[in-house]
Amino acid sequence: MTAFTARRKISSFVMLGLGIASLVFALVLDCLGFKFFITVSGRNVDIRGAILVAGILLTIAGIYLFPTLKYHRAIVYGLFLFPLLATFLVTVIIPLFFGIGYSFTDWDGIRVRNVVGFSNYLRMFRQPGFLWSILITFLFVFFNVILVNLIGFLLALLCTTKIKALGFFRASYFLPNLIGGIVLGYIWKFIFSSVLTNLLATKSMLSETPTALAAIVIVYIWQYGGYIMLIYITGLTGVPADTLEAASIDGASPWQLLTKIKIPMIAPTITICTFLTLTSAFKQFDVNLAMTNGAGSVSDFLGSYITNGTEMLALNIYSTAISQNEYALSQAKAVLFFIILAVVSIVQVRTSNKKEVAL
Amino acid sequence: MKKKILSVLLAGAMVSSLVACGVSTGDDAASTTNTGDATTTETAASGDAIVLLNGKPEIDEQLQALAAAYTEESGQAVEIQTVGGSNSATASDTLKKDYQAGTMPDIFVAEANQFANWEGMLADMSGEAWTENTELEYVNGDGTVGFPYMVEAWGIGYNADILEAAGVDSSTLTSPEGYKAAFETLESKKDELGLTAVVDYGANATELGWSTGTHMFGQYLDAGLSAGSDSEWFDLLQDGGKIDADRMTQFAEFIDLIQQHCDETIATTGNYDQETALFAQGKAAFITQGSWFGANLTGSDDYSGFKCGIAPFAFADGIDTICGGATSYWTVYADGNVDAAKAFLQWCSEETAQKAFVNECGFVSPFNTVSDIPSDPFAEAVNTYKTNGKLSPMHTFEKKDGLQNDTSVVFEDFAKGNLDVAGFVETISKVCEAYYAQ
C-alpha cells in the first residue's frame, strides 16, 4: 500500500473546506432570507440553490478522496446511503423536530410570534371535544381490532376450504381495500343516507352520533377485512398438510384441528394482523372525513355539549389546523398522537420479537 | 475495466440527478407560470410581471383575459395564478407555502377573517382613487387592506313566480307575522302549486354546515343593522362568545317557523344538490340560500327560468335588510411590487374592467363606476338592496375561525327535533361560550 500523495491530500482538504464553507454560506443566506443574484445575459438569477448543491458535491468528493485506508470502505458505503438518508432526513426527521418545536409556540401556519411553553398542551386537555375524540378513537380501535380480525379470519377459513369459485371470492373480499378511503366513504355515505333510507324507510344511520360511529366501524371492516383475510390465508396455507393429516387420522374433529393445530400454528400471523389493524385503526382519517366530517352532537359529555361527536383523533388534528386555524395547538395534538402511535409500535416490536424467540 | 466504467457511469448518474434537483428548485418561479396564451406572452414581455393569486378557478379564464387587456393598455405584465376549488383553505395553504418559500404573490385573495394572519405585512391602500367609488373595502389596523371585487348577499331566496301565483306580496316579508301568513297561504295551496315544501331548508351539519353555521348564524349577528354603523351582537359574541338571549329566542322561533314548513328529509339529511334540485324544480317557494345560489340554479337542468328574489331574514319586526357585501378581497403584499399592484387594482375598479367582472364573471359590482347587472337570477335583487343602502354587514366572516362547525351541529339537532326553541337558545349559547373559552 502506498502512502497518499500530497496532491491527493491537498485536493481532499481543499474540496472539503470549500464544500463545507459554501454549504454553510448557502444555508445561512437561506435562514436570513437573503438571495444571491448573479446577472446572466441581462437577467438576475438566484444561485443560492446552485451554491448549496455545489457545496454538497464538493463535500462528497472531499470525503471520498479523504486520505484514509482504514475507513475508506465505510466512507463509500456511507456515500451510497447518502441519497436515501438525506431524503429521510428532509422528509421525516427534520419535520418531526420542527413539529415538536412548533407545538411550544403560537405558530399560525405563517409565522411564530411568541413561545408559549406548554400552554398548547394544557389547552388541548381542557377541550372536552378533544377528550371525546381520544375516547372514541380508543373505542373505535378496540372494536375494529376484534371485529376486523374475527371477520378476516373467518373469511380466510372460508377461502381455504374447497368451495367453488375460490379465486372469485378471494378477489371480491380483497377488492374494497383497493378503493381509496375518500371514495369509499362517499359511496357508503350514499348507501347509508340515500339507499338504505329508501329501502328500509328508516332514518339514516349517519344522523345520530352512536349509529354514525357504528357506520364508520362497518365501513372500516368492509375495507380492511379482505386485506387481513389475505394475510390469514397465507398463514393458514403455511400450516403443514402432514400435521393436519396425522391429526385427522388420529381422530381429531375439524373443531379440534382448528383450535389445537391451526390457530397455535399461525400465532405469529395473528400478532402481525393485530398490530396492523391496531395502528391503521388509530390513524383512521379518510373514511371519517368523507362520511361525517366529524359532525355529530353529544348532549352531555363532561358537562358540555359536544359538536364533534364522530371526530376521531386524526381528523380532530386536521380540523384544528385547517378550519380553526390553530396550527400550534394542532401540532401539540399531533405530538400526543405521535407518542401514542410510538408506544403502540414499540410494544408491537417487543411482542413480535418475543414470539419469534418462543417459536 | 468494465466495472470501472460502470461505476463511473453510476456515480455520474447520481451526481447529475443531484444537479438536476438543484437547478429545478432555482427555476421554480418560472415553471409555475400558467400555460394560458395570455400569460405566456406577458412573461415574455417583461421579467417583472406582478403576480395575482386567484382563489376562484371558475373565473380563471376571465381574469387571464383581463390581465392581457391590462398589459396591452399599460405595458405592465400581470400573471394570474389560480388555485383552489370549492373551499378557500387551499388558497390560504398555497399562501403559507409561498410565504415560507419567499415567493409571495404581489396580490392575493383573502377573506375577512384571514387578514389578521397577515397583520403588518399588507400594503395600506387608503387614499387610492378607487376607495372613493365603493364602501365595501376592508379596513383594519393596517389601513385599507382589502380590495373588494364581488358582492354576495343572502336573506331568504324566493321563487317570484310561485309567490305571484299564490297571491303573496313579497313586500310583506319584513316581519315574522308576514312570513307566517305567507307560509300558511302557500301551505294551503301546496297541491295546487305543485310544491313539496314551502321552504327549502337544509341543516345537515356535514353537508350544509356552512349554510347554517356561517350564513344563517350571520343573520342573528347582523340582520337589520345598517352597514358600517353597528355591530352590537357581533361585539357581544367576540366578548367571550356571549349570545343575546332575547334576540336569539326570536331567531330560534323564526327557524322553528321555517322548520314547520320545510321538507323534513332535506332539512335533516339533505345535501346541497338535493336542496338545489328541490328549488330548481319549482317544488319549493323559499330557500335559505343567497346570491351565490344563482349560479347553481342556472346550471341546473331542472331550472325553467322562473324569476327570483331575496327577502329579508325577518325574525324580528322591521328587519328590511339582507346581509351582504364583499365576501372575498384582493390584498396587496407589502414586500411585493406595491406600486404596480396598486395601479392594477385601480384599473380593475374602473369601468372597462368592472364591465368585464359583471358581464363575464357574473359578479355584482361593489363599485359605482358601472351600472351593469349580471344576468344571474338573484343579481337584480342584490343590486337593489345595495343601491338602496339596505345591505347589513357580514360579521359572520370575522367570528372566531371554525365556530360554524360547532353551531351548525346545534342547528341540525334543532331540525331533528332533539332541541326545542329554549333548548336551542341555551345550547347555542353554551357552545359559543365554550368555543371562545378554549
The residues, ordered by sequence, that sit 6+ positions from A94 with a Cβ below 8 Å of its Cβ are none
pLDDT digits (tens, 9 = 90+) for A262-290: 999 998 899 889 888 998 999 999 999 99
Query: Does residue A241 fall inside a structural domain?
Result: yes
> Using a CB-CB distance cutoff of 8 angstroms, which residues of chain A are in contact with residue B431?
305, 307
Same domain? A190 vs A242? yes
CB of A145 within 8 A of CB of A221?
no
Lowest mean pLDDT among A45-49, B301-305, B354-358, B363-367: A45-49
The minimum CA-CA distance between A339 and chain B, rounded to whole Å, is 23
pTM for the whole structure: 0.84
**Residues forming beta bridges with residue B284, ordered by sequence position:** B197
A56 touches chain B (CB under 8 A): yes
Mark whether A220 and A86 lie in a shared domain. Answer: no
Secondary-structure percent of chain B, ordered helix, strand, coil, rounded to 5: 55, 15, 35
Per-residue pLDDT band for A28 (boundaries 50, 70, 90) equals confident
pLDDT(B28) > 70: no
- Among B40-54, B135-149, B383-397, name the one with the lowest average pLDDT: B40-54
* Cβ neighbours of B413 in A, within 8 Å: 297
Mean pLDDT of B139-166: 92
**Structural contact between residues B148 and B365, judged by C-beta atoms closer than 8 angstroms:** no
Residues A10 and A8: their CA atoms lie apart, in Å, by 5
Q: A133 and A205 in one domain?
A: yes
Check if the beta carbon of residue A315 is closer than 8 Å to that of residue A212.
no
Quick one: A229 and A184 in the same domain?
yes
Residue B305 pLDDT greater than 70, yes or no: yes
**Structural domain boundaries, residue A127:** 123-358
pLDDT at residue B343 greater than cutoff 80: yes
Residue with the bigger pLDDT between B100 and B263: it is B263
CA-atom Rg of chain B in angstroms: 25
A323·B405 Cβ contact <8 A: yes
Is residue A108, in this structure, part of any structural domain at all?
A: no
Q: Report pLDDT for B13.
A: 65
A291: which chain B residues are within 8 Å (Cβ-Cβ)?
Answer: 206
Please answer whether residues A64 and A79 qualify as being in contact, where contact means their C-beta atoms are separated by less than 8 angstroms.
yes
- Average pLDDT across chain B, whole number: 86
Residue B304 neighbours by CB distance under 10 Å: 9
Q: What SS3 state is found at A239?
A: coil
Q: SS3 of B197, please?
A: strand
CB A313 within 8 A of CB A330: no
Provide residues of B within 8 Å CB-CB of chain A.
14-15, 18-19, 21-23, 25-26, 47, 89, 92, 95-96, 99, 102, 113, 117-118, 205-206, 209, 265, 268-269, 401-402, 405-410, 412-413, 416, 418, 427, 430-431, 434, 438
3-class SS at A201? coil
Supply the pLDDT for residue B77.
93
Q: For residues A155-184, give the mean pLDDT.
A: 90
| Residue A336, φ and ψ in degrees, nearest 5 | -60, -45
Among partner residues A57, A203, A309, which is closest to B18 by beta-carbon distance? A57
pLDDT at B43 over 70: no
- pLDDT, greater one: B2 or A129: A129
Residue written as grid cell 400550534: A328
Domain finish residue from A77, A96, A115: A96
- On the question of pLDDT at A35 being above 90, the answer is no
Give residue B93's pLDDT.
83
Whether A270 and A181 map to the same domain: the answer is yes
Burial class (CB in 10 A: 0-12, 13-18, 19+), B70: buried
Q: How far are the Cα atoms of A34, A307, B41 from residue B338, in angstroms, in the given order?
A: 20, 44, 23
Yes or no: say if B410 and B178 are a contact pair by the CB < 8 Å rule. no
A57–chain B Cβ distance below 8 A for any pair = yes
CA distance A325 to chain B (A): 6
| Cβ-defined contact of A206 to B269 (cutoff 8 Å) | yes
Phi-psi region of B240 (alpha: psi -120 to 50; beta: other; left: phi over 0): left
**B88-96: long-range pairs with CB below 8 Å, 24+:** B88/B55, B88/B114, B88/B328, B89/A322, B89/A323, B90/B55, B91/B53, B91/B55, B92/A109, B92/B117, B94/B53, B95/A110, B95/B53, B96/A109, B96/A110
Q: What is the CATH number of the domain that holds A280?
A: 1.10.3720.10
Neighbours of B397 (CB within 10 A): 18
CB contact under 8 A, A52 and B416: no
Same domain, A279 and A145: yes
Residue B202, C-beta contacts closer than 8 angstroms, at least 6 positions apart? B208, B211, B212, B266, B267, B270, B271, B272, B274, B275, B288
- As given in the structure block, the three cell numbers for residue A352 are 413480535
In a domain, A111, yes or no: no
Please report which confidence band the pLDDT of residue A41 belongs to, taking 50, 70 and 90 as the band edges.
Answer: confident
The whole-angstrom separation of Cα A288 and Cα A318 is 12
Shared domain for A150 and A244, answered yes or no, is: yes
* CA-based end-to-end distance of chain A: 49
Name the residue among B110, B132, B168 with its Cα closest to residue B309: B168
d(CA B318, CA B168) in angstroms, rounded, equals 18
**Residues A90 and A186 grouped into a single domain:** no
What residues does B82 pair with on adjacent strands?
B54
pLDDT at B38: 34
Is residue A117, in this structure, part of any structural domain at all? no
Give the A window 21-40 contacts with B, CB below 8 Å: 33, 35
Q: Is residue A103 part of a domain?
A: no
State how far the Cα of A354 lies from the Cα of B366, in Å rounded to an integer: 71
Closest CA to A118 of A109, A129, A126: A126
What mean pLDDT do residues B364-390 have? 89
What confidence score (pLDDT) does residue B17 get?
56
How far off is chain A from B13, nearest CA to CA, in Å? Answer: 12
Domain presence at residue A107: no
Which has more pLDDT, B126 or B58?
A: B126
Give per-residue pLDDT as tens, B87-104: 445 788 889 888 888 889
DSSP string, B412-435: HHHHTTSS-HHHHHHHHHHHHHHH
pLDDT at A237 over 70: yes
Span B141-151, mean pLDDT?
91
Q: Say yes or no to pLDDT of A358 above 60.
A: no
- A224 falls in which pLDDT band (50, 70, 90)? very high
Instruction: Give the distance from residue A321's alpha carbon to the nearest chain B alpha carbon, in angstroms.
Output: 10
Mean pLDDT across A338-354: 85
Least confident of A39-48, B51-60, B100-109, B410-419: A39-48
Closest residue, chain B, to A108 (C-alpha): B117
Contacts with A106 from chain B: Cβ below 8 Å: none
Kindly report, residue by residue over B210-230, the tens digit of the pLDDT: 999 999 999 999 998 887 668
A204 interfacial to chain B (CB closer than 8 Å): yes
Q: How far apart are the first and last CA of chain B?
A: 70
DSSP annotation of B333 reads: B
Q: Are residues A89 and A143 in the same domain?
A: no
Residues composing chain A: 359
Say what the pLDDT of residue B381 is: 92
Domain end marker among A96, A112, A147 = A96
HEC string of A248-305? HHCCCCHHHHHHHHHHHHCHHHHHHHHHHHHHHHHCCCHHHHHHCCCCECEEEECCEE
Element counts in chain A: helices (H) and strands (E): 17, 4
What domains, with CATH codes, occur in chain B? 44-151+326-349 (3.40.190.10), 153-324+390-437 (3.40.190.10)
- Summarize chain A as % helix, strand, coil (round to 5): 75, 5, 20
Minimum mean pLDDT among A95-109, B20-34, B78-92, B138-152: which range? B20-34
The total of structural domains in chain A comes to 2
Q: Number of helices (H) and strands (E), helices first, in chain B?
A: 20, 13
- Cell 329508501, located at residue: A198
- Are A83 and A154 in the same domain? no
Residue numbers in B near A317 (CB within 8 A) = none
Q: What is the mean pLDDT of residues B266-276?
A: 90
Which pLDDT tens digit goes with each residue over B396-427?
Answer: 988 998 899 999 999 999 999 999 999 999 99
* pLDDT of A2 higher than 90: no
- Tell me the mean pLDDT in the region A59-67: 88
Asked whether residue A147 carries a pLDDT value surpassing 70, the answer given is yes
Indicate whether B20 pLDDT > 80.
no
**Is A142 among the domain residues?**
yes
Do A207 and A348 reside in the same domain of the chain? yes
* A220-238 residues labelled b (16+ CB within 10 A) or e (exposed): bbbbbbbbbbbbbbebbee
Residue B14 pLDDT class (50, 70, 90 cuts): low
Q: How far is B309 from chain A (nearest CA, A)?
A: 31
Are A60 and A128 found together in one domain? no
Please determine, for residue B31, whether its predicted confidence score (pLDDT) is greater than 50. Answer: no
Q: Are B80 and B135 in contact (CB under 8 A)?
A: no
Beta bridge partners of A301: A304
* Residues 318-337 (A) with a CB less than 8 A from some CB of B: 319, 322-326
∠ CA(B394), CA(B397), CA(B401), 5° rounding?
A: 155
**Which A residues 69-98 touch B at CB under 8 Å?**
83
Mean per-residue pLDDT for A71-89?
Answer: 90
Are B269 and A193 a contacting pair at CB < 8 A? yes
| DSSP β-ladder status, B50-54 and B78-82 | parallel
Residue A106 belongs to a domain: no
